[in-house]
Amino acid sequence: MSENPNNTNFSLRKRINRIRNRFYARITEFKLVKTCLLLEIPGYLGLLLLGYIIAFFYGGTGSNPGEFYIWSNFISDLGGIHFTPAPYLYDIAAILGGGLMIPFSFYLEKLLVPLPQKPEEYNITTRLRYRIGSHAFLLSIIGNLGYIGIGIFSIDRDVMSLHLITGAMAFGGYAGAGWFFGLIILLYDTKIPKLLGLYGMVGPLTFIIATGAIFLLAPVLLPLFEWLVLFSILVWIILLAYVIISNEELHV
């Protein structure tokens, strides 16, 4: 007697849903997210700083050995053998930075766009909040994957302009996610300071817009503004992570 195809499909869906639920429960577990953030901040920043110090003292170019400055070198130059003897440091930093941020992206969506568990909670999360949260989550994942891609497709391993594409994904994704997550913080009661939400909206995005203007008006300043975009994103992530880790009401 053959098995009913409908029963087979239902069983398969149940299995997939079970796996998906386990994955979501694990990746949004506060202990895991906290561990990733505590590894992310010193690990990524440490590798970035070490890579810059080595490039500053021992890197540069053939015509300007030992010269590496944020106002004359792009961030990606840290991953180029023509600019530093240790390009792998930034490659690892980018892959580590993007990878360890993935659980935080899932956690932020869970925290800022909570699913109602009881009938009286149905009015807490509006349809608008879901839509904003979906955009924020998608853009943050794009940013994470883009930053991982920067490490994989460094300027030494750039094929089909993938380094430029992943760089745009990283900066655009993080800035866009900051805007939408910041909007949720401003519009709703999230226990996160409204001022931080405002910075998430205007900080990184302002520097990206300014970088576009600099590209047209004063291209010589482009490297400096690229670094400023990175710093503005790091400030947003570090402050948000600190607020969430230090406030038990935000441990969900």
| pLDDT at site 59 | 83
Give yes or no for a contact between 77 and 55, defined as CB atoms under 8 angstroms apart: yes
In the chain, alpha helices (H) = 5-27, 30-58, 88-112, 127-152, 162-187, 194-217, 222-246
Give yes or no for a contact between 196 and 185, defined as CB atoms under 8 angstroms apart: yes
Give yes or no for a contact between 208 and 179, defined as CB atoms under 8 angstroms apart: no
Looking at the chain, the whole-number percentage of residues with pLDDT higher than 90 is 74
pTM: 0.89
Using CA atoms, how far apart are residues 22 and 61, in angstroms rounded to an integer?
50
Tell me which of 3 and 109 has the higher pLDDT.
109
| pLDDT at site 123 | 64
Query: Mean per-residue pLDDT for 164-170?
Result: 95
Query: Mean per-residue pLDDT for 55-79?
Result: 83
Tell me which of 33 and 125 has the higher pLDDT.
33
Tokens linked to 73? 């070198």
Compute, in degrees rounded to 10, the torsion defined by CA atoms 152, 155, 159, 165.
80
| pLDDT at site 41 | 85
| pLDDT at site 238 | 95
| pLDDT at site 182 | 97
Q: Hey, where are the domains in the chain? A: 29-250
* Predicted confidence (pLDDT) at residue 1 exceeds the cutoff of 50: no
Query: Mean per-residue pLDDT for 161-181?
Result: 96
| pLDDT at site 67 | 80
Query: Mean per-residue pLDDT for 215-231?
Result: 93
Lowest-confidence range among 111-125, 213-227, 231-245?
Answer: 111-125
pLDDT in tens, 195-207: 999 999 999 999 9
**What's the chain's average pLDDT?**
90
Query: Mean per-residue pLDDT for 97-103?
Result: 96
Lowest-confidence range among 43-47, 112-116, 212-216?
Answer: 112-116
| pLDDT at site 31 | 95
pLDDT in tens, 101-132: 999 999 999 999 987 766 665 666 688 999 99
Tokens linked to 51? 């890579």
